[in-house]
Amino acid sequence: MNLSLRQTVWACLALGVCAVLAVPGTAPGLGGEARLTLAVFALATCAWIAAPVDDTHVALGAGLALTVTGAISSDTLFATLGDSTVWLLICAFVLAAAVTRTGLAGRAAAFLVSGARTVRQLVHLTTAALVVTAFAVPATSGRAALALPVFLALAHALAARRRLVVMLALLFPTVVLLSAVATLIGAGAHLITVGVLLEQTGEGIGFTRWLVLGLPLAVVSSHLAAEAVLLTTTRREDRRGPVEITVAEIQAHSETPVSGPLSPPELRCLLLLGTVVALWCAEPLHGVPPALVALIGAVVASSPALGTVRMKDALRSVPWPMLLFMAATTAMGVALVDSGAAGWLVGGLPSAVPPWAFLAAVVAVSTAAHLVLQSRSARSSVLVPLVVAAAAGAGVNPVAAALASTAAAGFCQTLPASAKPVALFADPPAGVPSFTPRDLLRLSAVLAPLSAALVLFFALVVWPPLGVPVLLESQP
């Protein structure tokens, strides 16, 4: 098998780390179990970066290696798959399948964009619609797939204005990625972050608390990104012309009705989805865990009498590889902490760093990490355990640091291969224009610093009044 230069470099780096860890006396204060954990962690990280192997396969191999060597127990490895956050994501995908089957998403999109009269109105109404989908469809790839038919309908309606179509092709994946931070189920990386925080600090983040912290950031960042996309991909004359998109034009490219009275299945699904989201948001009042609410909703959504999708069909939409990846990487995080490897890794960092500087460094590294690790979940699996361990040593609230890292990692629009939604819209069906790598680079030059600065602003200014202080000692 021929290895590329990139793969060879990372393979040599991983083997070099393992060789150094195997030599006694090279890492003072590091026990044998911690050495083994670091070696497995280094190999897995390099494999995620360079190896042509599925990320889930690498994560499962790492979890198995840690279990066989005794770094973690088999109960720890298997228990991660039964975590409540995993159940929450499974049931959320069942609910999303029910919503997709009814065509409610197409109706909502048609209702919003058909009211646009200017290019800027179209951009921001589309952005608002995409932000709302974070409550109905988990994971960014699922939301991108759901939004693609809407984009194609808009592209055909605006076929005479090519530059606007290219702008929309960039807008859809950009907003999908940045608005994911709105909800706990917006990305698998969020659940990894929650699991790491719960394991290392004992403090969890529920659906409601994440919503309070993440939704304002999602709304602001999505609409700022929409302006950035509009200004970097269109000219003044492109934005000046009026826009008129009719419901009939959207209906021509939709398999389900986008206007007229709601059908009984649509009404049932809309009522069920509204009830589930309301119960998620009201968790502090009734005390029912979000995973249990989601399970009840999934059972109703797939029931013969009231449901709109069969359970076996809905379960086919669940990304089982991602769930296994989350479980395995959570076990890796447990091994990093319990063995003392995470503490040793961050022990050499300077402790006299101002909190704002520490958070700025976390945000900068997390924003740039997509250039090395293309999987968002893999980035959180690598960064969040180290960030949480380093935060305690720097006197920074680990929750603030972990949230900042996870939110900053939502930016991954520099290359077409940096994220699945970007890759999906970079190659639409024949005849539909899309963006080029140069368009992406031009947008990233503006959006990367803007996104990082916004996350840092929220971590330092907005989140503390909402219950996430910057300093560790100021926690109640």
Beta bridge partners of 396: 471
Q: Do residues 57 and 36 touch, judged by C-beta distance below 8 A?
A: no
At 278, give phi and psi (nearest 5°).
-65, -40
Candidates 53, 17, 40; CA nearest to 329 is: 40
Distance CA 306, CA 298 (A): 11
Averaged pLDDT for residues 235-257 = 72
Name residues whose C-beta falls within 8 Å of residue 325's C-beta, 6 or more positions apart in sequence.
55, 56, 59, 60, 188, 377, 378
- Is the pLDDT reported for residue 466 higher than 80? yes
Among the residue ranges 97-101, 124-128, 256-260, 395-399, the one predicted with the least confidence is 256-260
Q: How far is CA 19 from CA 13, 44, 257, 344, in A?
A: 10, 15, 62, 18
Report domain extents, the chain: 1-71, 72-474
In 10 A of CB 109, how many CB atoms? 26
Candidates 345, 330, 460; CA nearest to 400 is: 460
Q: How far is CA 445 from CA 119, 241, 391, in A?
A: 23, 27, 29
- Positive or negative, the CA dihedral 362, 363, 366, 370 is negative
Q: Do residues 146 and 103 touch, judged by C-beta distance below 8 A?
A: no
Query: Would you give the distance in Å from CA 261 to the centre of its chain?
Result: 34
Give the residue, 130 or 14, on which the prediction is more confident.
130
Question: What integer pLDDT is reported at residue 197 of this predicted model?
Answer: 85
Percent of the chain at pLDDT above 70? 86
Percent of the chain at pLDDT above 90? 14
- Is the pLDDT reported for residue 204 higher than 50? yes
- Is the pLDDT reported for residue 410 higher than 90? no
Q: In the structure encoding, which two tokens stand for residue 450, read together?
A: 């803007």
Give the residue, 3 or 299, on which the prediction is more confident.
299
Distance CA 84, CA 92 (A): 12
Give the residue, 300 or 285, on which the prediction is more confident.
300
Amino acid of residue 20: V
Question: What integer pLDDT is reported at residue 1 of this predicted model?
Answer: 41
At 118, give phi and psi (nearest 5°).
-130, 165
Q: Is 136 exposed, middle or buried (0-12, 13-18, 19+ CB in 10 A)?
A: buried
Distance CA 140, CA 419 (A): 9
Question: What integer pLDDT is reported at residue 474 of this predicted model?
Answer: 44
User: What's the whole-model pTM score?
Assistant: 0.81
Among the residue ranges 18-22, 109-113, 166-170, 441-445, the one predicted with the least confidence is 18-22
Q: Do residues 425 and 165 touch, judged by C-beta distance below 8 A?
A: no
Q: In the structure encoding, which two tokens stand for residue 112, read together?
A: 């919003």
Q: In the structure encoding, which two tokens stand for residue 375, read together?
A: 């999987």
Q: What is the DSSP string of 251-271?
A: HTT-SS--SSSPPHHHHHHHH
- Is the pLDDT reported for residue 14 higher than 70? no
Q: How far is CA 215 from CA 55, 187, 397, 450, in A?
A: 29, 14, 21, 18
171-195: burial string, b at 16+ Cβ within 10 Å, e else: bbbbbbbbbbbbbbbbbbbbbbbbb
Among the residue ranges 61-75, 133-147, 387-401, the one predicted with the least confidence is 133-147
Q: How far is CA 389 from CA 262, 365, 385, 398, in A?
A: 51, 16, 6, 8
Distance CA 43, CA 49 (A): 10
Distance CA 224, CA 471 (A): 28
Question: What integer pLDDT is reported at residue 476 of this predicted model?
Answer: 41
Averaged pLDDT for residues 184-205 = 83
Question: What integer pLDDT is reported at residue 34 of this predicted model?
Answer: 78
What is the 3-class SS of 361-426, one letter each residue? HHHHHHHHHHHCCCCHHHHHHHHHHHHHHHHHHHCECHHHHHHHHHHHCCCCCCCHHHCHHHHHHH
- Is the pLDDT reported for residue 455 higher than 90? yes
237-258: burial string, b at 16+ Cβ within 10 Å, e else: ebbeeebebebebbbebbebbb
Distance CA 190, CA 184 (A): 6
- Is the pLDDT reported for residue 238 higher than 90? no
Kindly report the average pLDDT of the chain as a whole number. Answer: 80
Question: What integer pLDDT is reported at residue 5 of this predicted model?
Answer: 54
